[in-house]
């Protein structure tokens, strides 16, 4: 993917290419590529930061990552789901997030308005999708991706100019 820089934020050590990634790279490059060549291609075109995206992330690193990026994408980002959306909103970036696990015991501060009731705790995947939509309303939208499993995507094309300034705490 010429001209597209990718930064992966993932605390896991080994991010070796999967069979599907090799297939994608082969399709893009127009030929067969060995696993070793695919690793080389991935290292050349992506940066891997072995860290968590959370409240403890160094603000300078966060600023450097999100200030100049074009788009924020999260594919099953687990605990980073809310942080990815918040960073995209803070830096005025479009985003697409495919949430997976809810982690309701870890994120007890997530609430939605549901059936006319405020303060409903987020416990299910659908409630997590609603939480993402409600916290970036009216810009955020939801759709379905064409694959099996958790395939609900929450996205926004809004930029800084489209967003209201954050409310004072």
User: What is the per-residue pLDDT across 88-146, written as a single tens digit (0 to 9) for each?
Assistant: 999 999 999 999 999 999 999 999 999 889 999 999 999 999 999 999 999 999 999 99
Same domain, 110 and 78: yes
Pairing of strands 111-114, 95-98: unpaired
How many Å apart are CA 135 and CA 139, to the nearest integer? 9
Same domain, 142 and 109: yes
Same domain, 61 and 97: yes
Same domain, 65 and 26: no
Q: Helix or strand or coil: residue 83?
A: helix
Pairing of strands 111-114, 72-75: unpaired
Question: Is the distance from CB of 10 to CB of 48 less than 8 angstroms?
Answer: yes
Q: Helix or strand or coil: residue 122?
A: coil
How many Å apart are CA 135 and CA 156, to the nearest integer? 12
Say which DSSP state 69 is in: -
pLDDT, average across residues 61-85: 93
pLDDT of residue 161: 74
Same domain, 13 and 69: no
- Please give the model's pTM, rounded to 2 decimal places: 0.78
Same domain, 59 and 27: no
Same domain, 118 and 93: yes
Q: Tell me the chain's radius of gyration from C-alpha atoms.
A: 18
Q: What percent of the chain has pLDDT over 70?
A: 76
First-last CA distance in the chain: 42
pLDDT, average across residues 40-64: 83
Structure tokens given for 45: 């075109």
The residues, any chain, with a CB within 8 Å of residue 19's CB and separated by 6 or more, are: none
Q: Which of 33-37, 46-50, 68-72, 75-79 has the lowest mean pLDDT?
A: 33-37
The total of structural domains in the chain comes to 2
**Residue spans of alpha helices (H) in the chain:** 19-29, 35-45, 59-67, 81-90, 125-135
Same domain, 163 and 102: yes
Same domain, 8 and 41: yes
């Amino acid at each position: 993917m010429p001209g597209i820089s990718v930064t992966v934020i993932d605390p896991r050590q080994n991010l070796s290419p999967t069979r599907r990634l090799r297939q994608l790279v082969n399709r893009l490059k127009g030929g067969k590529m060995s696993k070793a060549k695919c690793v080389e291609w991935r290292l050349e075109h992506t940066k891997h930061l072995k860290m968590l995206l959370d409240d403890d992330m160094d603000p300078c690193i966060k600023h450097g990552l999100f200030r100049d990026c074009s788009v924020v994408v999260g594919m099953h980002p687990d605990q980073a789901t809310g942080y990815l959306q918040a960073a995209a909103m803070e830096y005025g970036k479009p985003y697409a997030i495919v949430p997976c696990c809810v982690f309701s015991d870890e994120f007890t501060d997530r609430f939605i308005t549901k059936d006319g009731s405020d303060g409903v705790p987020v416990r299910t995947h659908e409630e997590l999708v609603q939480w993402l939509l409600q916290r970036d309303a009216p810009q955020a939208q939801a759709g379905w991706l064409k694959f099996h499993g958790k395939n609900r995507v929450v996205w926004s094309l809004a930029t800084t100019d489209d967003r209201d300034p954050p409310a004072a705490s």
